[in-house]
A and B are shown apart, each in its own frame.
Chain A
């Protein structure tokens, strides 16, 4: 099918939009519409749709704008809370993963060098005072100290990450 638009189409459409059809249009244009099938279709369809729209607008009831505004505020707040919690969750997961890795590394090193927890525990249990317990603790392996240091660093880093994430939001 070949498509040929009528040159009068734009003028008729403008008249219809402005509500000037048919009274506000000259006789030539009205005569043209009677003879041009495409323009006749356009007039029929536009007038029917405009009438349907006008009738529909008169019959419609909508919810109050205040309610929508309030719901939008709520949705925006929820979206903001979700955006904040996302990096926090990621930081938590990261912290857990690092902790697990450190624990796994520690256990692996303990296994390689032989388990000496039993002797250490018996020393601690035998010490009656805090002073002697501390002395026993100082005698811990370097790995334990490393573990404590790593966990401390991790806690500090997680705190900084959380702070930065919250600050950014």
Chain B
């Protein structure tokens, strides 16, 4: 990938990657650092030869691995599922806007793995196979994990909406 091609790819993909990392980590500064590091590693590696979609998926995989490494360094456990959500709950707000008033509290109560799956599936629109490629999870388990996570966050979102209406 030459300089101009990278500039175009970066401008198209960086906001999505940054918001993914921000949403999963709940930490704006960390998301900025990991976004930059992801692109640096992407440039220093041999990206997949193919369309932009493959490169984007590869980039998300790098970012996911970096985030996992970061969590491994911060907490004694090495499994993403074992990281308590309180540790990773949003410590700051990433450009708070109206929809986030509802989504932020709900996301803060989700486990990191659940946030990751939900964001990749419902914000980025990745298929189960693509999510498996990015996260390293088994493709067959993603369907069930995602179903459970979706049911959980839907319940939390409805509660949050009801609470907001009650306040209003």
**A contacts, CB < 8 Å to B:** 3, 5, 17, 38, 40-42, 44-46, 48-53, 55-57, 59-60, 62-63, 65-66, 68-69, 71-72, 75-76, 79
Contact = CB atoms under 8 A, between A and B. Distances in A.
A65 B44 CA distance: 14
B27 to A, nearest CB: 14
A49 B15 contact: no
A5 B123 contact: no
Majority SS at the chain B contact face: helix
A45 B122 contact: yes
Given A52-B123, A57-B16, A65 B6 contact: yes
11 contacts: A38-B147, A49-B122, A51-B99, A59-B97, A60-B18, A62-B15, A65-B6, A65-B10, A68-B39, A68-B43, A69-B6
B167 interface: no
B123 A49 contact: yes
Interface stretch (B51-59, B65-73, B151-159): B151-159
A90 B14 CA distance: 41
Contact of B40 (A51, A52, A68): A68
B76 interface: no
A46 B103 CA distance: 12
Contact of B99 (A44, A48, A68, A69): A48
Majority SS at the chain A contact face: helix
Given A44-B157, A45-B153, A55-B95, A3 B147 contact: yes
A62 B12 CA distance: 11
User: Which residue, of B14, B35, B122, B153, has the highest number of chain A Cβ atoms within 10 A?
Assistant: B122
B103 A52 contact: yes
A57 B11 CA distance: 11
Contact of B19 (A42, A60, A68): A60
Contacts of B100: 52, 55
B102 to A, nearest CB: 7
B22 A56 contact: yes
User: Which residue, of A5, A63, A69, has the highest number of chain B Cβ atoms within 10 A?
Assistant: A69
Interface string B94-135: 110111101100000000000000110011110000000000
A65 B48 CA distance: 20
B165 interface: no
Nearest to A18: B125
A79 B95 CA distance: 37
B75 interface: no
B15 A57 contact: yes
A56 B26 CA distance: 13
A50 B7 CA distance: 25
A62 B35 contact: yes
A48 B144 contact: no
A55 B97 contact: yes
A17 B125 CA distance: 7
Given A38-B151, A62-B35, A65-B6, 14 more contacts: A3-B144, A41-B151, A42-B150, A52-B100, A57-B15, A60-B18, A62-B18, A63-B36, A65-B10, A65-B11, A66-B7, A69-B43, A71-B40, A72-B44
